[in-house]
Amino acid sequence: MPFSLISTEDRQSLPNGIEDAYPLTRLQLGMIFHSEYAPSTAVYHDVMSYFVQAPLNIQILHSAIKEIIARHPVLRTSISLNQFSQSLQLVHSQVTIDLPVDDISSFLLDEQEKIIATWIEQDKKSPFVWDKTPLLRFHLHQRSGNTFNLTLSCHHAILDGWSVATLMTELLQQYLFLLGEKVLPLKKAPSITFRDYVALEQAALKS
C-alpha cells in the first residue's frame, strides 16, 4: 500500500501532492554519495541522444513524453536526503516537464553533430536538484523536416540501462501511435513498480 514503507511521523510531514514515499535503495544511496562527493565530474549523470527519422510534430512528441511521465512513478520522483527520519524518494502526483527545441536544420551534418556534442557536455554541467522533479529532462534538436535528435538526460539513480531502453521504446511507440502511424497503443502500465523492489530490499535487510 502507498506509504507503507515509511513511518507515520514521516507520512504526516509529507508535502501536498505526494502519492507515495519510500526509502532509497542502497545502490541509489551509493550513487548519490558519489555524485555529491565529486559534483564536478558529472558521475552518474547520464545523457543519451537518439537520432530519429520520422515526421516531427513537436506538440505530439511533448504529449507523448507527458503520457510516459504519468505512466511511471519513478519518473515523477524526487529525493529528500535529510528532511525526514531517513532519506526518502517522494512520488509526485503531477510533474511538469518541458521540451526545449533547438532548430539546427540550417547547418551541415558535421556541424549539427558538433552542436549536439557541445550541448551534451554543457548539459552535464547542469546537475539535477534532488528535491526537484523530474530527475530527468528531454531536449530536441531539429535536423530537418523528418529527422531530429531526441536527447534524454537523467540521473542514474532513477534509471538504469534497461529502464532507459524500455522508456525510449514506449515513448517512440506512443509518439508514432499519436501521429496516426500503424503501431499498437501502449498496454496498461506495469503492475510491478520500483517501490516493490524497495520493499523486497527492506525486507531482506530486516531478515
Give 89-112 pLDDT, tens digit per residue.
Answer: 999 999 999 999 999 999 999 999
Contact assessment for residue 148 and residue 140, using Cβ atoms and an 8 Å cutoff: yes
Chain-centroid distance, C-alpha 85: 26
In the predicted structure, residue 28 carries a pLDDT above the cut 90: yes
Q: What is the pLDDT of residue 189?
A: 87
- What cell was used for 96? 511538469
Length of the chain: 207
In the predicted structure, residue 190 carries a pLDDT above the cut 90: no
In the predicted structure, residue 67 carries a pLDDT above the cut 90: yes
In the predicted structure, residue 202 carries a pLDDT above the cut 90: yes
In the predicted structure, residue 82 carries a pLDDT above the cut 90: yes
The stretch 179-198 carries a mean pLDDT of 91
Please give the share of the chain, as a percent, with pLDDT higher than 90: 92
Q: What is the pLDDT of residue 197?
A: 95
Could you tell me which of 106, 105, 78, 81 has the C-alpha nearest to residue 92? 78
Angle at which helices 161-179 and 58-71 cross, to 10°: 130
Phi-psi region of 12 (alpha: psi -120 to 50; beta: other; left: phi over 0): alpha
Torsion angle of the four alpha carbons 136, 137, 141, 146, in this order, in degrees rounded to the nearest 10: 80
Residue 116 CB partners (closer than 8 Å, separation 6+): 49, 104, 141, 149, 151
- What cell was used for 185? 497503443
Supply the mean pLDDT for the chain: 96
Calpha distance 54→179 (Å, rounded): 10
Strands 147-155 and 45-53: antiparallel
Q: How many CB atoms lie within 10 A of CB 80?
A: 19
Instruction: Report whether the peptide linkage leading into residue 134 is cis, meaning its omega lies within 30 degrees of zero.
Output: yes
pLDDT (tens digit per residue) in 97-154: 999 999 999 999 999 999 999 999 999 999 999 999 999 999 999 999 899 999 999 9
pLDDT band, very low/low/confident/very high, at 73 (cuts 50, 70, 90): very high
The stretch 181-204 carries a mean pLDDT of 92
